[in-house]
Chains A and B, each alone.
Chain A
Amino acid sequence: MNIGVLEFASFAAAFAFLFLAPGYALLRKKKYALPELAARAFAISAGVVLVESFLLASFVGLSALSLAVVVGATAMLFFRSASPG
């Protein structure tokens, strides 16, 4: 398999990019040792990527389902607060 330096660097940058936001947020919130920080950032990133892929790109059906859940939950909250007592 032929992999150019640019291709390798591009992949490494994209993989590292996934860690950036949660890693930075965790750094600001609490002082973790590097392996623990990386582990937490990785798990959060993987979760965010999964949800993003689910809802925005891959699953139109599930996206509609999640929208229905959000609308349903909002409606429930509305009717609950509107009911007397």
Chain B
Amino acid sequence: MLFGIWYRLKALEGLVHPTYGNTMYHTGIIRAIVETGFMPVYDLSYGGFTKSFYVPAYRLFTASVSSLSGTDPIVSAGLMVVALGAVSICAIYLLGKEFGGPWAGACCAILFVLSPELTIYTIRPFPEVLGVPMLLLALYFVKKQDLGMAVLASVLTALTHQTSAAVLGSVLLVYSVLARDKKAAVALLSMFVAYFAWQLYALNSLDIFSMRQIALKESGKITLMHVERIGLFALLAAPIGAIKAVKKRHWLLASFAIAALLLAKNEWLGIGIFNDRLFTFLALAVVVLGGVGLAELGKMWGEAK
């Protein structure tokens, strides 16, 4: 946890923000919310005449903390990376613990902190920094069969980050079918309703296929470099975790891996969009599998001694 927090403090080292990625696109809107008290319906970039299709939770959450503390929105967005990084580590520990005990949780947390792919994704002030922990918490509450919290976390994921929501929705769909879990189906339905209610409000349309990024098939190719960035230990231990998931009938973990793989390689389904972004969630699934696998290896080694 301390290492993860220390590493995320680098989010504060830039003159303004880490300049790679369009971080100011989001921080600009956070500043506008803090200064006006209203969320801009239109994007601030490109002349400000296109409606914003981004879901609002991350921006509202950061703006709320900024207003409450009186901290500058840019500084708040940087500090939010650190605070939500700690929440992510806590969330992946809890999820890993559900599949293989406290050691598995600890291994998942360590692999999460050490994974370059996940670090790149969660070290910049983007909606992802809230989307990743909300996704993990939603899966945790589904595993705990806590319907109220699962619905809450799923709805929050849907309203935080579209890519995280697509992954969570796919995992819940696969899991509902594999395990015939009604609570997961209810969580899926609730996030579906929440997302489309927002889209109807923000864009006056339920059509997701006409959104620019989808219509233009925005995507980056997955290369060997992406795979290496998951982390060596996670990659090596993940097959053991996968075997345990099947043997112990951890259908939620299996569904996470299946759905993340199908989404990252969605060109297999004839879609071919956001491959590199969705790949990060495959890395997240591999890290959870790897953590469970490492703990299992430790257990086997302890028994052999």
Q: How large is the interface on B (under 10, 10 to 19, 20 to 34, 35 or more residues)?
A: 35 or more
Contacts of B155 in A (CB 8 A): 47
Q: Is A61 an interface residue (CB 8 A)?
A: yes
CB contacts between A and B, total, < 8 Å: 104
Q: Determine whether the beta carbon of A10 is less than 8 Å from that of B71.
A: yes
Q: Is A24 an interface residue (CB 8 A)?
A: no
Contacts of B159 in A (CB 8 A): 50
Q: Report the bound CA distance from A15 to B86 in whole Å.
A: 12
Q: Report the bound CA distance from A25 to B94 in whole Å.
A: 21
Q: Determine whether the beta carbon of B60 is less than 8 Å from that of A54.
A: yes
Q: How large is the interface on A (under 10, 10 to 19, 20 to 34, 35 or more residues)?
A: 20 to 34
Q: Determine whether the beta carbon of A35 is less than 8 Å from that of B69.
A: no
Contacts of B90 in A (CB 8 A): 35, 38-39
Tell me what chain B mostly uses at the interface: helix, strand, loop, or mixed: helix
Binding site for B on A (CB under 8 A): 1, 3, 7-8, 10-11, 13-15, 17-18, 35-36, 38-40, 42-44, 46-47, 49-50, 52-54, 57-62, 65
14 contacts between A and B (CB under 8 A): A1-B14, A3-B12, A7-B75, A14-B68, A14-B69, A38-B87, A42-B137, A43-B141, A43-B153, A47-B156, A50-B61, A54-B60, A61-B201, A65-B201
What are the 3 closest A-B residue pairs judged by CB atoms, nearest first?
Answer: A14-B69, A58-B39, A53-B60
Binding site for A on B (CB under 8 A): 12-17, 33, 37-39, 56-57, 60-61, 63-65, 68-72, 74-76, 78-79, 83, 87, 90-91, 93-94, 130, 133-134, 137, 140-141, 149, 152-153, 155-156, 159, 201
